[in-house]
Amino acid sequence: MATPNFGKYEVLQVIGAGAHSNVYKVCHRDTRKRFAIKHVTVEDASAQRFFRQLQNEYELTRDLAHPNIAEVYDMVTRKRLLRVAEAYLVMEYVRGGPMTPDPRTYTFDELVFYFRQVADALAYLHEQGTIHTDVKPKNILITKRHLVKLVDFGQATRPGRSKGRIQGTFEFMAPEQVHDGVLDVRTDIFNLAASMYFMLSGRHTPPVIAATRGDIDFLPSRSRRPKSIRDVNPAVTSALDDLLRYSCSRVRDDRPDTMADFIERFEEAVDAEPSPPDEETQE
């Protein structure tokens, strides 16, 4: 793979790779300051949506300023024969890596600390009139100083819209994302709670859909909410368990109305004294 030319930015290494895009660690040739560049090549019509996602990410994040959201500084587009051939975003370089998908990596207190920061980032994002719609451990970067940075806003949108197709990550998707419903802040609340549920229990919430050999099947739901996680992680308080289960409800009106409401209940839940796991969980 040939190293792309980013003009005033010198490529140091590849830090992420995908079908039509790569992420590079770069430095400014004059200032030597480090940045990250997300580079998309538009080789055919099928790659156009990756370019549109890049545009979308730039338009929705360029004016954001929050300590828990990775900054986006610039977008450069290059054309060949009057068609867009490639584009790239210049972004904040985060000295850290994504939250590992192995829950055993972190203590309960560490996860509480990290997800509280994610919730803060989402509350700010919602105040700016944007929802992320793809919150998951992979999109949560953690620095060596334990600062969280929320990344990858390619699927972000304004609340009150539908995507027109299934878009997101199956294991963390809200039902309205599967059924092409209208998305709102409660979609992010579901994504966040589903990520927390997984990291605190080591298991995913019951899936809404299953993908097998490229086919998508809609799965019946026996319960509006997932099972309690206290049987596998007694460090989780009953209040936090309830909050996560309600926030992962397939019925949107069961979830907290706003991220501010979720944060208030989350803070109360993690301050509560842990109690023994229930002998029998009512579904």
Give Cβ neighbours of residue 145 (< 8 Å, ≥ 6 apart): none
Domain extents for the chain?
Answer: 9-92, 96-271
Give the chain's residues under pLDDT 50.
213, 217-220, 222, 279-283
pLDDT in tens, 147-157: 999 999 999 99
Active-site positions read 134
Which residue, chain included where needed, has tokens 């055993």? 104
Domain spanning 96-271, CATH architecture: Orthogonal Bundle (1.10)
For the beta carbon of residue 110, count every other beta carbon within 10 angstroms: 13
Closest CA to 15 of 41, 42, 34: 34
**Which CATH architecture does the domain made up of 9-92 adopt?**
2-Layer Sandwich (3.30)
What local confidence, expressed as pLDDT, does residue 223 receive?
Answer: 56
pTM (two decimals): 0.89
β-sheet bridge partners, residue 24 = 14, 37
